[in-house]
Chain A
Amino acid sequence: MPDQGQIATKRKFKLVGTRPVRPDGVDKVTGRARFGADMTAPGMLHALILRSPHAHARIKSIDTSRAERLPGVKAVVTRDDFALPERRDLVDICYNVMAREKALYDGHAVAAVAAVSKPVAREALRRIKVVYEILPHVTDVDEAMKPNAPILHKDMRTKGIDPKPSKASNVARQWEFGHGDVDRGFTEADIVVERTFKTAATHQGYIEPHACLASVGSDGQGDLWCCTQGHYMVRNACAGLLGMKVSQLRVTASEIGGGFGGKTTVFIEPVALALSRKAGRPVKLVMSRNEVFRATGPTASSSTDVKIGVKKNGQITAAKAVLRYQGGAFAGSPVQFGAMTAFACYDLKNVQTIGYDVVTNRPKQAAYRAPGAPLAAFAIESVIDELATKIRMDPLEFRLLNAAREGTKSSYGPTFGPIGLEATLEESKGHPHHLAPLGPNQGRGVACGFWFNFGGNTCVSLNIGEDGTVCLSVGNPDIGGSRASMCLMAAEELGVPYERVRTIIADTAALGYNEVTDGSRVTFAVGMATIKAAQAAKVKLCERAAKIWDISPEAVVWEDGHARPAGANAGTFKPMSLADIAAVAGSTGGPIAGHSEANADGAGVSFATHMVDVEVDPETGRVTVLRYTVFQDAGKAIHPSYVEGQFQGGAAQGVGWALNEEYIYGEDGRLQNAGFLDYRIPVASDLPFIDTVILEIPNPGHPYGVRGVGETSIVPPLAAIANAVSAAAGVRHTQLPMSPPRILKSIMEKRDGV
């Protein structure tokens, strides 16, 4: 592979790295932008879903006859309308979209109706009679692993252990990573710290609930408009679940009011399509906030044991973690990513992580920014902090001493190339934040975090307009500023002003398959495709100029947005701008476009260090976040304002996760706080200005050096805040959220000497 990182460091950009106005700004502040629930169609029906009120129950019968007889009801669907799909990866999704033999969690869909109005649909739901046999339930990860726990799936045998167990359990899979000999490493340690940590399940908290409009004609052709992070994924999943060919279904992504990983799967879309197919009319389905909490995908909750040994000089000799994540009612918690990332920030000779993927009677988890990593980092970085205190070493120096660097064998295996952890630590050491004094009841915490990032299948099309403007069609919903970044990269490559490029999100019929907007992949992978498409267009532009000048295409170069003769021997011709060539395109061979289709690999890993100051009120246990600084490697920041926004957003969501957010279940297994009044995400007044420092250690795998930035920023905050709160309160906190009652209890126990 060419060393593009070196190219990137040497390249002088004209537009990349500037901060132009975002192209979607006017639409969003004027209300012109169309989100999922804004879609309408003539003759449209309204759909609602009936959901299980039980955490675990056998569905003995469903009688929809009274609902079907209600005037205005046009279609009712249940499990009988969804055949199990051939694709194995869709089977659990099928079970999750509509319950079959059992309802597996409070909120599990049981039936759905489409009617001429919402009130009629609501009345129809009341007329559906479901007979349940209530079964014992379990919602806690540690309880679910006990031998006498209620079993969710009678055929679940733990994978990853040999011999294969003969008895069913709630442990879907065991994972193991590491190298060296941890037992020997611990014997070499002077100090060993061993602790157990717990985190609550949290929701991504996107402001826009899931919404879609489905329309299936009598010819079997379907259209779907929805808010999603990946409309190609939606197309393929829905086609698989409904027995359609992918080309029969065209999916258009709406603007999206947040996703953060939670919109990387389907929930209501197949239901709306099934209703539309049955009713023969368009069907709109919009989730309520209550449904979003109960029936979409929050993240996992976890229980983790950590043991780290260190010499008095600060050298870590061994590190081990056992991670237990519950991911709801189906296999697939992100525990393997927790186990892989847990110790990725450190250069370790002896390291071992074991992960258990556990099922419980909760909604099937969905991805949430760097899935699995923040939970692990909370546990590991808390012990790192405690060890630094025990050996009387500055926590940043302790981390620097043991930091992963280029050439380090990572805790999950591969050897790191050029990486930026050390740079983020060095930058944080000299930052004014680190040197600022603290007052009474205040504490400072730091923590590091890691995420892989990846690329994936990507297809873009760049079309040159007759007036010299450029339209770029991409297939990834813009969840974090990708349209601005793509405009910048296309404009940079073509040498035209940013304002002359417009990027649109094309529907699934317009482009080849594009993977979901996830894995911090878009600026990297779609950016690379955009650059390649622009380069392909430049070749054609040069060919047209060569034709006009009647010289060889090899004698033409593209510089500063113009085709120019390559040298004196090529002749003396007046350079032609992109607009000049576009204006005569129709007479010189037809429209000019550039395309790129590739499976992008070479995404660079990313590291961050976070620093936070908090004050703990010893009378109430309330935490105030006073100051917060994010130091993160972006490879190359294409649009620095958006990069800063990603850093700030990760930190803000981390503040909520650390201090307040949690799924609270009652004894009956029902979710107690399915709304933003009782599930408290941070609001502006809860947060200080979040300062950011962008480090740029170019990724050799990208032409401009880009690394993904969207996920790493949520990995360190839980631990950084826990370390700050523990310092301020004078007691180590090992359970999230660190809500006021929990903190107050710990302070009182300390006072009372408990």
Chain B
Amino acid sequence: MVKVVLWGSLKQAAGGKTELNLEAKNVRELLDRLVEQYPKLEGHLDQGVSVSIDGVLFRDAWFAPIKPDSEVYLLPRLAGG
């Protein structure tokens, strides 16, 4: 199981929790499991997210591996200037 931490305003869409435990080996599986278990998250995820795995930020990286003990944060999609 992987522990993923959501940003605060996703709490309501994830059943009142910001820390979730999911079976996922990579980013794609993580996002799929999130939507399967918390359908209300889909609208938020569709607008784009970044995933931080052990402090490294990933955008659009379906196959970035996640280890069971990885630190995983779901973050808004980053944009810059």
Contact = CB atoms under 8 A, between A and B. Distances in A.
A557 B5 CA distance: 46
B80 A371 contact: yes
B3 interface: no
Interface stretch (A48-56, A113-121, A516-524): A516-524
Chain A interface, >50% SS class:
loop
Given A601-B56, A601-B58, A161 B79 contact: no
Contacts of A454: 50, 57, 59, 78, 80
A177 B73 CA distance: 11
Contacts of B71: 414-415
Interface of A: 1, 88, 159-162, 174-178, 204, 260-262, 264, 334, 336-337, 340, 352, 354, 367-371, 412-417, 451-457, 518-521, 599, 601-603, 701, 710-711
Interface of B: 5, 7-13, 43-44, 46, 50, 52, 54-61, 64, 71, 73, 75-76, 78-81
The 4 closest A-B CB pairs, nearest first, are: A261-B81, A519-B80, A176-B8, A162-B12
Given A175-B8, A367-B80, A412-B75, 13 more contacts: A1-B56, A161-B9, A260-B81, A336-B76, A337-B76, A352-B8, A412-B7, A413-B73, A414-B75, A457-B60, A520-B80, A601-B56, A601-B57
Contact of B79 (A160, A334, A417, A455): A334
Nearest to A260: B81
Contacts of B57: 414, 452, 454, 601, 603
Nearest to B53: A414
A340 B73 CA distance: 13
A453 B81 CA distance: 10
Nearest to A518: B80
Nearest to A417: B55
B56 A602 contact: yes
Contacts of A354: 8
A236 to B, nearest CB: 14
B12 A161 contact: yes
A451 B57 CA distance: 12
A8 to B, nearest CB: 16
Chain B interface, >50% SS class:
mixed
A255 to B, nearest CB: 19
A452 B79 CA distance: 9
B61 A519 contact: no
A414 B80 contact: no
Which of B12, B44, B57, B64 has the most A CB atoms < 10 Å from its CB?
B57
A518 B78 CA distance: 11
B81 A711 contact: yes
Given A161-B9, A264-B81, A367-B81, A599 B55 contact: no
B64 A414 contact: no
A370 B9 contact: no
Contacts of B46: 88
Contacts of A371: 79-81
B79 A176 contact: no
B59 A456 contact: yes
30 contacts: A1-B56, A159-B43, A174-B9, A175-B8, A175-B76, A176-B8, A260-B81, A367-B79, A412-B7, A413-B5, A413-B75, A415-B54, A452-B57, A453-B80, A454-B50, A454-B57, A518-B80, A518-B81, A519-B79, A519-B81, A521-B80, A599-B59, A599-B60, A601-B56, A601-B59, A601-B61, A602-B56, A603-B57, A701-B56, A710-B81
Contact of B13 (A162, A413, A711): A162
Nearest to A601: B58
Contact of B52 (A177, A414, A453, A456): A414
A533 B71 CA distance: 32
A12 B10 CA distance: 47
Nearest to A452: B78
A299 to B, nearest CB: 9
Given A457-B60, A599-B60, A601-B58, A519 B9 contact: no
